[in-house]
Amino acid sequence: MKYTQLGRTGLKVSRLVLGTMNFGPQTDEADSHLIMDAALDAGINFFDTANVYGWGENKGRTEEIIGNWFAKGGDRRDRTVLATKVYGNMGPDGPAWPNHDKLSAVNIRRAVDASLKRLRTDRIDLYQFHHIDRDTPFDEIWQAIDVLIQQGKILYVGSSNFPGYKIAQANEAAARRGGTIGLVSEQCLYNLAERRAEMEVIPAAREYGLGVIPWSPLNGGLLGGVLRKQATGGRRASGRAADTLADPASRARVQAYEDLLDKHGIEPGEAALAWLLTRPGVTGPIVGPRTADQLASALRAVELELSEELLTGLDEIFPGPGPAPEAFAW
């Protein structure tokens, strides 16, 4: 496994991030533990989750699965850089209850303690804001974070799904307070087929020293060889991926992508991950394996070298938007 520093921090993390969103809803606890063991054995030390994972009446279940894995011992916790998130409503099911979601100081402090209990640990290495909160000022957010850092409950803070201007606002507010580290990472939607983050999110992250952590690196499975799998009787696309393939132009791009990689003898999913690892500012993409075989495929991407010819071909199929403001102005 290869490692890099997380943004401007001294924290070293693996170039693949183990996403755990499937743990509970799609992968049972026993298999989830096997996948985490295999990831750690392979050198992946960066695990990502969120307090709402498990979803619905099972929200929080994914953190519990991870906590039970930590409880097995064997230095599992000390070898893991643990990231979780706050924002979604964690109140009781039924009508919405005030102050059980978003980024008020009240909810942040409550949510940290609840996550620590489910995760069966004394600290969260990277605490991430899962979404922007338009109602809570950053001075209030940072005041709550400062207290939690002083208490040793969290070490670093990151954002997720933030636009570029919110990354700037957050870190400028942190700088005004003095002594506040500010955001050190941004977790955003970014892959070959969805490159809008290149306009402003990634430039803002790089300007402020944030590591970029792409989620959905295979674009919902579209970049994982979906057409080949369908042709050979494998898993068919569903949801947003199926809707995308219903558009003839989008389907043609996916077909051209798979044809190009067939020519180079490279698996589509591995190429999509390897491409992200070439992008400036990217710490590592989040991979969310449901099985050990899917984890093994992701691991191969770290060692994959993409030729300039292939990179050029990928850009021709999935051109980026270009930098702002030139992408939309002169």
At residue 230, the pLDDT reads 87
- Predicted TM-score (pTM) of this structure: 0.96
**What residue type is 20 in one-letter code?**
T
* pLDDT digit string, tens, across residues 42-71: 999 999 999 999 999 999 999 999 999 999
Residue 7: predicted pLDDT? 98
More confident residue, 189 or 294: 189
pLDDT of res. 179: 80
82 falls in which pLDDT band (50, 70, 90)?
very high
pLDDT at 127 over 90: yes
pLDDT tens for each residue of 255-267: 999 999 999 999 9
Catalytic residue annotation: 53
Residue 304 has pLDDT above 90, yes or no: yes
Fold classification of 3-220+270-307 is TIM Barrel (3.20.20)
**pLDDT averaged over every residue in the chain:** 95
The confidence score (pLDDT) of residue 208 equals 98
Provide long-range contacts, Cβ within 8 A and 24+ apart, for 108-114.
Answer: 108/141, 108/144, 108/145, 108/148, 109/144, 109/147, 109/148, 111/51, 111/86, 112/86, 112/148, 112/153, 112/154, 113/153, 114/51, 114/60, 114/90
| Mean pLDDT value across residues 287-303 | 92
Q: Is the pLDDT of residue 239 over 80?
A: no
22 has pLDDT over 80 = yes
Res 93: pLDDT: 76
pLDDT digits (tens, 9 = 90+) for 97-122: 789 999 999 999 999 999 999 999 99
Mean pLDDT within 74-85: 98
pLDDT of 241 reads: 81
Average of per-residue pLDDT across 70-87: 98
Nearest to 87 by CA among 106, 109, 108, 102: 102
Domain boundaries, the chain: 3-220+270-307
Summarize the confidence of residues 146-158 as an average pLDDT.
Answer: 98
For residue range 204-234, list pLDDT tens digits in order: 999 999 999 999 999 999 999 999 988 887 6
Contacts 24+ apart (CB under 8 A), 291-297: 291/27, 291/31, 291/35, 292/34, 292/35, 292/38, 295/18, 295/35, 295/38, 295/39, 295/42, 297/267, 297/269, 297/270
CB 119 within 8 A of CB 111: no
High-pLDDT (> 70) share of the chain, % = 99
